[in-house]
């Protein structure tokens, strides 16, 4: 099946919407409260989704203009890959090395400057190390997979489209 640039980018947007829908389902139905690193992964998915949508609606004809959307999506994807990778690393630590549970992300935003808040959030806390497997894979493992797939999808769509 050959898709246009618009079709590929709108499909990427639909995947991002599905990922966010599942994240909300996991939070409100499965009662899996998101840790700060989960929130940052959600922000990365939303960032990618917005640029997939805007790129799909705009559907520029020039490869250079398409590349701008691919770059923005890639930046969101790299943020997500780094965050999910850090999250998986925290989950792989022995129980004795897991950091103590810290304050929620809302408190960190209110109490600290942005750079200090990022540092504290990425240091991780005990709730980030809790493993809740879905189909045998931890949630950040799934998000890492989707960040990689969506980033590649965005880059491939720039060159491989039907005119």
pLDDT of residue 124: 59
**Computed over its alpha carbons, how large is the radius of gyration of the chain?**
17
* DSSP structure class, residue 133: E
Instruction: Tally Cβ neighbours within 10 Å of residue 103.
Output: 14
pLDDT, tens digit, 9 for 90 and up, residues 83-142: 999 888 887 777 666 555 555 666 666 766 777 766 666 665 555 666 677 788 888 899
pLDDT, tens digit, 9 for 90 and up, residues 146-163: 999 999 999 998 876 545
pLDDT of residue 62: 84
pLDDT of residue 113: 75
88/109 Cα distance (integer angstroms): 23
Higher pLDDT, residue 132 or 9: 9
pLDDT of residue 104: 62
Give Cα 108 distance to the centre of its chain: 20
Report pTM: 0.81
68/89 Cα distance (integer angstroms): 31
Higher pLDDT, residue 144 or 134: 144
Instruction: Name the residue among 46, 45, 44, 37 with its Cα closest to residue 140.
Output: 37
Parallel, antiparallel, or unpaired for β 133-134 and 137-138? antiparallel
Q: Which tokens belong to 136?
A: 């045998």
Alpha-carbon distances of 124 from 40, 102, 112, 127, 145, rounded to whole Å: 12, 8, 16, 8, 21
pLDDT of residue 126: 54
Domains and CATH numbers, the chain: 5-159 (1.20.1550.10)
pLDDT, tens digit, 9 for 90 and up, residues 21-53: 999 998 899 888 887 888 889 999 999 999 999
User: What pLDDT band is residue 60 in, cutting at 50, 70 and 90?
Assistant: confident
2/13 Cα distance (integer angstroms): 17
pLDDT of residue 115: 74
Q: Which tokens belong to 160?
A: 């491989």
62-81: average pLDDT: 91
Task: Give me the residues paired with residue 133 across strands.
Answer: 138
């Amino acid at each position: 099946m050959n898709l246009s640039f618009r079709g590929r980018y709108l499909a990427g947007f639909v995947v991002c919407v599905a990922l966010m829908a599942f994240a909300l389902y996991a939070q409100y139905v499965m009662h899996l409260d998101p840790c700060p690193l989960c929130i940052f992964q959600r922000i990365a998915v939303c960032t990618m989704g917005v640029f997939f949508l805007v790129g799909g609606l705009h559907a520029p004809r020039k490869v250079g203009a398409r590349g701008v959307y691919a770059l923005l999506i890639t930046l969101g994807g790299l943020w997500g890959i780094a965050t999910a990778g850090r999250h998986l690393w925290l989950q792989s630590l022995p129980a004795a090395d897991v950091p103590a549970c810290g304050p929620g992300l809302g408190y960190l935003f209110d109490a600290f400057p942005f750079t200090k808040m990022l540092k504290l959030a990425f240091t991780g806390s005990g709730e980030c190390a809790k493993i809740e497997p879905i189909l045998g894979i931890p949630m950040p493992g799934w998000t890492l997979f989707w960040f990689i797939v969506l980033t590649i999808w965005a880059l491939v769509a720039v060159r491989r489209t039907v005119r």
